[in-house]
Amino acid sequence: MKFIDKLLKAARRNNSRLCIGLDPDPGLMPETSFLEFNKAIVDATADLVCAYKPNLAFYEALGVDGFNLLQRTVEHIPAHIPIIGDGKRGDIGNTAKAYTKALFITFGFDAATVNPYLGFDSVEPFTEYKDKGVFILCRTSNPGAMDFQSLVGDQGMPLYEAVARKAKEWNVYGNIGLVVGATYPEELRCIRQLCPEMLLLIPGIGAQGGDLASAVKYGVDARGEKAIIAVSRQILYASCEADFAEAARRSAQELRDKINYLVSQISS
């Protein structure tokens, strides 16, 4: 099954555009093992999400044990829910091929985040896995995004717009999406207008301060779909006590329902 089909099927099944980032942080977690934490979060929220998104940095920081944790976490997620491997990989072609094998074959992710800074030959090995999703960093949610992504080139457009246009040009297999932060709503609106049919992965809600209403309004497509609202800390650490899984479920359900309400307001 192609990634976009799996994503839309999960989104419709759970009536959800919410993606939970599985980013276990020992400084914020309750007193439990990393694996039990991840499993409890998944068990509590699997009927509320359209996808899960483990950020590889939190697993790599644990060394060999982290890779085992990541693999077991992936295995625990229900097969019908897509998993986005958030590694923001980007390197020359031969190295990119090794990254694609690691993410798509070894760990079995349904999609990956990719840094396009090195150009098409660094992205192409990912897109050649036609059934997998490739989310290209376009307008990221962090404050420092402005350092480069807002620079205007010779063609009179900011870099993030040039990236969006290139990604649209490269999307010959229909498996490319864009990462666009909720912290930049005007840029999000611009990118959705440029790429009306592409999937948008939208981080920045919650701890980073992005506005949910704007993210939904400008992020969804004409059918109210194809926006993946990614949230981590707000849900994972709704409680740091023994009730962390129940608190995560309440937070996820509240957020999913709020997103659905905002979508209904757009279409009404």
User: Is 88 a residue of the active site?
Assistant: yes
List of residues 6+ apart from 30 with CB closer than 8 A: 37, 239, 240, 241, 242, 244
18 neighbors 50 (Cβ within 8 angstroms):
yes
Helix axis angle, 120-127 to 93-100, nearest 10°: 30
Q: How many residues does the chain have?
A: 268
List of residues 6+ apart from 117 with CB closer than 8 A: 90
DSSP string, 199-240: -EEE--BSTT-B-HHHHHHHHS-TTS-SEEEEE-HHHHTS-S
Closest CA to 86 of 228, 225, 198: 228
Closest CA to 148 of 167, 135, 134, 162: 162
Closest CA to 49 of 255, 261, 266, 263: 255
Q: What is the DSSP letter of 137?
A: E
**Which residue is associated with the tokens 């599985």?**
22
Q: Distance (Å, rounded) from C-alpha 13 to C-alpha 80? A: 10
The active-site residue out of 9, 39, 88, 97 is 88
Q: Which residues are catalytic?
A: 88
